[in-house]
Chains A and B, each alone.
Chain A
């Protein structure tokens, strides 16, 4: 069963959106879950991507990713009508959606994509949703309009001030946590260092903080253990125990290092790929 791409857009600097046929996943997925895809069966690697949205009637899911290596570049080179050989999911334990009262959802860069379905579900549950979206610069700010629809309050900031407030997301996050109507829960998804600092920001306020981790994975079903992180001093598997964890207990420093385990090899592969693309005149 192949998966046809039914829509594709570049939505930001190095950031791409596709809608792809995956009827079973579209029907089964819940906020917080992800898929693993493998472009071709023989030699491609398996990469986890969070599900940004789904339309069960059309039988499609939305994926958003950043081009940063060979596989993500290959994926970005596909177009509407092309097929992805393997899409498996939905994986991971869905987000626990509850009535927390006020919730703060913090997205960083590409993290806005998996955060959107969570914010949407929280809103539907009757929470007052405050969303804080951050990006390096204006060109990398994604999904702002869709967050507007589901947020009672939206704060947008960029590192360089090219759009919205010039601040890191931790700044408005601290302000929100310091308000009289303190958030009952924080949901944070973004680059690992950003999640680390956001957790430090919420900790003094005692706001329970959920993070969604995106580690290196192969099978996504608990079989390989490559995705393990240290939570509260114990090894946990992101694919089956997560991807969401109590951010105040995650060992982010170790996780950041583990994410870089293959950096050198990945760079080599990407360089080789880019050179090849140049030679055959695609770029």
Chain B
């Protein structure tokens, strides 16, 4: 019954959906039939076109595609996908609802567990979370053929154009909560604390809220309008967002609690101190941390320099990006969009070890980013004016597995070679920002400078909770959200107990 060739035209898809729906209504689809449904590709901008614009690459499923894709789901009784989700979204049920065309219901199911479906549907590494556990992918022995849960999540989230009504808020408790950092963890913690009826204020150091979602993740992967919408929802709930407020400098955590009357604090400030390689030439003009490069390009809109925006960025011809994570891919693809002719991505292991999402690696390659694997910079060379002229790399081979279980890259002596570049972007991760540490005695940090928390995201200071990259080191939007949720639950419990104690 089912078309063997993946349907590509709208007509073919409509036809397929019609057949599948009929079957579904008559005798139901058997697992074997579901497995035979072709996986739906994500419509995307042509690589040659998109490398010179900042519009979103992935365009989102059509309604037909979404329903066809959702029908691939086997509706497993044990729903292994849910176990793979850091915030345990009831994936099986929301996918089931999409298959039936009940999109509003699907979104409501997601929103029980996740506040930011439009964001997560776009930036979650689903292939190592929910989709990795998907029975469809396992049966077809290919994780890339798992049900595209992320795309389905995005589909229903995007239908909700005007933003859902703000979640209900419990009667006011009179307790004040400070959320430090307006990134994904902070947004979730703020929403959950507000829902419990607390008076919530979010403090953001930058002049725009959203954290990594506005300064780091590029527009072509996560449109800022989506983040703005989520922040609007927070405001509708009565959460106050204060920008240009640097906790540790403008006010300390101690001042917030002792003088400003905050009963509980959530610290979600992110990692926020870029790592450099400590090699020769790293201070030359044209060497950027990925944080700086992306902040100039995204938050400060340097792509519009001279057309309104006042923040400049290097006008590059040849760019070397060092690193193999999502941030490296974002930097490389941003460099292309800013007009670079050549972008080299230098990574010291192989593609299999890259921490970046498969989709981002794929997109980067499609757009023409050149991958230089098993290579690592030794030094950066410059001219008399201290401008970058070249990068010297060493070739590597993989040796014995290291502590992370990945095979350790070992430099091949004498394998140095140079590549002509005018810009170098270092995307090898972040250390933890020292501001809170330096200004909050009493908080326990580990040797890497990360905040120490228990399973409920409680820090060593009573009433102070933390989550996201400041705790985890470098992680993802969804993991930060997961911790924001855990922390908010613990915070709500803490405040409830405090209330009871206070009433006695």
Contacts and interface: CB of A to CB of B under 8 A. Distances in A.
Interface of A: 1, 24-25, 28, 38, 41-46, 70-71, 85-91, 218-226, 228-230, 235, 237, 240, 251, 254, 257-258, 260-262, 265-266, 268-269, 272
B312 A265 contact: yes
Contact of A223 (B250, B291, B386): B291
A105 to B, nearest CB: 25
Contacts of B311: 45-46, 218
B276 interface: yes
8 contacts: A86-B207, A89-B246, A222-B435, A223-B273, A224-B295, A226-B289, A237-B273, A266-B312
Given A235-B278, A269-B312, A258 B288 contact: no
A88 B244 contact: yes
A46 B434 contact: no
Interface in B293-320: 295-296, 300-301, 304-306, 308-312, 315
**A contacts with B: majority SS:** mixed
A254 B244 contact: no
B249 interface: yes
**B contacts with A: majority SS:** loop
A41 B206 CA distance: 10
B24 to A, nearest CB: 49
A237 to B, nearest CB: 8
Nearest to B273: A222
B80 interface: no
Contact of B272 (A85, A91, A222): A222
Contacts of B386: 254, 257-258
Contacts of B250: 24-25, 28, 88-90
Nearest to A259: B285
Contacts of A261: 285-286
Contacts of A268: 306
B310 A90 contact: no
A219 B246 CA distance: 10
B244 A269 contact: no
A109 to B, nearest CB: 24
A41 B283 contact: no
Interface string B258-286: 00000000000010111010100011011
Contacts of B286: 261
A1 B244 contact: yes
B208 interface: yes
B433 interface: yes
Given A257-B385, A258-B386, A272-B306, A46 B207 contact: yes
Interface residues of B, number: 45
A119 B412 CA distance: 56
B410 interface: no
Interface string B415-435: 000000000000000000111
Contacts, number: 129
Contacts of A41: 207-208
B494 interface: no
B433 A43 contact: no
Given A221-B249, A225-B289, A262-B312, 11 more contacts: A1-B242, A88-B206, A88-B207, A90-B249, A222-B433, A223-B215, A223-B274, A224-B274, A226-B292, A237-B273, A261-B285
A89 B249 contact: yes
B445 interface: no
A219 B276 contact: no
Contacts of A262: 312
B30 interface: no
B243 interface: yes
Interface string B211-228: 000010000000000000
Q: Give the interface centre of B249, B270, B283, B304 by most chain A CB atoms within 10 Å.
A: B249
A87 B249 CA distance: 13
Interface in B243-257: 243-246, 249-251
Contacts of A28: 249-251
A46 to B, nearest CB: 7
Contact of B206 (A87, A91, A219, A235): A219
A218 B292 contact: yes
B295 A88 contact: no
Given A41-B207, A235-B282, A225 B310 contact: no
B169 interface: no
A165 to B, nearest CB: 35
B273 A219 contact: no
Nearest to A251: B283
B306 A218 contact: no
A221 B276 contact: no
A218 B296 contact: yes
A71 B296 CA distance: 16
B246 A88 contact: yes
Contacts of A229: 283
